[in-house]
Structure 1
Amino acid sequence: MALPIYSITPFTLLDYPDKTACIFWFAGCNMRCLYCYNPDIVTGKGKLSYDDALKFLDRRGKLLDGIVLSGGECTLHKQLPGFITQLKKRGYMVKIDTNGSTPAVMRNLIAQDLIDYVALDFKALPQSFKAVTVSNLFGNFEKTLSLLLMHNMKFEVRTTVHSSLITKNDLAKMVNYLEVIGYKGKYYVQHFVNDTPTLSGLSPSLKNLEAEDFYSSTIQVIFRG
């Protein structure tokens, strides 16, 4: 059986709001975003089993508040619910980073009360989603977003911006889309980091957007980095 986890970041204060955490990076993804800065994780194979990850946690004792499950796309792994059950038994809060492509999996995790926080990647609007992600999964993303809203999950929405893929006008429309669908919260926007290995040979991105360019009465647009 293929190993699920590519690598572990043993400690982070940045990836789980107000929590000390580690990150389990899951191998594989069903999107091929042109700006993806984790090409080795997305296209590579796992190196660690679930047991390896649990042994890592058990050796550390209870030094962490939470676990971030990232990737790649962690929700593609069929044994994920059982793994999270073991994390919860050990007393950890669990955050999932997801592209939103597996609403059925997310529905199951929510129903079993296995996740505490979600970071949902908003890649692009329908008209440019395929060009950005090399996938036809916008409908799945939309179902996941609606699911999180319906269940009042604690979650954030985030977007990576490369100036040749998402323009200022595009981002304004994305903010409006979130308003219309009923999202009220923080919308994190991060500029693409130039000179970073990616899945495609993108030209340098222009950092020509600022948070004050985007007004919303219900959404707080926050630029990271």
Structure 2
Amino acid sequence: MKENVSKPIYGLTPFTLLDYPHKSACILWFAGCNMRCLYCYNPEIVLGKGSLSFEKILSFLHSRKNLLDAVVFSGGECVLHKNILTLIAKVKKMGFLVKIDTNGSLPDTMQQLLNQNLVDYIALDFKAPKSKFQSITQSDFYDSFEKTLDLMLKIEIPFEVRTTYHSDLLAEEDLREMVHFLENKNFAGNYYIQYFKNNVETLSKLERSNNRIDCEKLSTQTIKIILRE
């Protein structure tokens, strides 16, 4: 446990143009997660230990000042880390934009990050409708997810909502229910669906997903389904 605290980061992606919209970034993959999503394709990160200290990451970021625009905090679940506010504050002071990838299970921590103006972009995972949330995530954090969503709907910084789709776990009716839920929350804009990655190791052994979604059929006047393959 001490090792995981002193070295919270499982790995580093030094450069990406895909994970922060219209920005160059690196990704910090934090070890550990409080969910066990059946389709998770990062079991080594969720179940593994960290290997990089934040001091080493700060050294790397110093060498990338004026070369990268942003730092993406991902995982696992990055906001689980007890020193996450301090770590992000140091990155912000270096002049980087900060994006948080989160499952929404810790709304109080997200509130603190927002209160301190430490986040510039958020990607919130909408795992499943309430009826299937526990079976898919192996957790009972649906209410926490909803609180985080409510929080984000009140803020002025950009954010996105996204769902990973596996045909054995979510039916088209489930996706329609999720869109309806977002509409009732007065969410408007793009809702991103990303297909399950077939032929990769996952937390649970799943059959191949029939990755076919009719985005136009699921979209509404206020919410547009955007597919990320």
Bin the TM-score by the shorter chain. Answer: over 0.9
Percent identity, aligned pairs only? 53
The structure 2 residue matched to 1:209, chosen from 208, 213, 224, is 213
Give the corresponding residue for 2:117.
Answer: 113
Q: What is the aligned partner in structure 2 of residue 104 from structure 1?
A: 108
> Is residue 70–residue 97 contact of structure 1 (8 Å, CA) maintained in 2?
yes
The amino acid across from 2:155 in the alignment is: H
| Aligned residues: CA RMSD | 0.8
Q: Distance in 2 between matches of 1:215 and 1:9?
A: 33
- CA deviation vs aligned residue, 1:147-201 (integer Å, no higher than 9, x gap): 0111233100000000000011110111111011111121100111110110010
Aligned residue pair count:
225
Deviation per residue, 1:31-86 (Å, 9 max, x gap)? 00000000000000000111111011112332100010000000000111111111
* 1:8 maps to amino acid: L
Q: Name stretches of at least 5 consecutive residues in structure 1 with no aligned partner.
A: none
1:146 aligns with 2:174: no
Choose which of 127, 133, 136 in structure 1 pairs with 2:131: 127
1:41 matched to 2:45? The reply is yes
CA distance in structure 2 between the aligned counterparts of 1:215 and 1:56, rounded to whole angstroms: 42
Task: Give me the whole-angstrom Cα distance separating, in 2, the residues matched to 1:109 and 1:148.
Answer: 12
Instruction: Normalising by structure 1, report the TM-score.
Output: 0.98
Find the aligned partners of 1:215 and 1:224 in 2 and give their Cα distance: 15
**Is 2:91 the partner of 1:74?**
no
Q: Residue 173 in 1 paired to residue 139 in 2?
A: no
For structure 2, the residue ranges without an aligned partner over 5 or more in a row are none
Structure 2 contact 65–94 (Cα < 8 Å) conserved: no
Structure 2-normalised TM-score?
A: 0.96
Partner residue in 2 for 1:196: 200
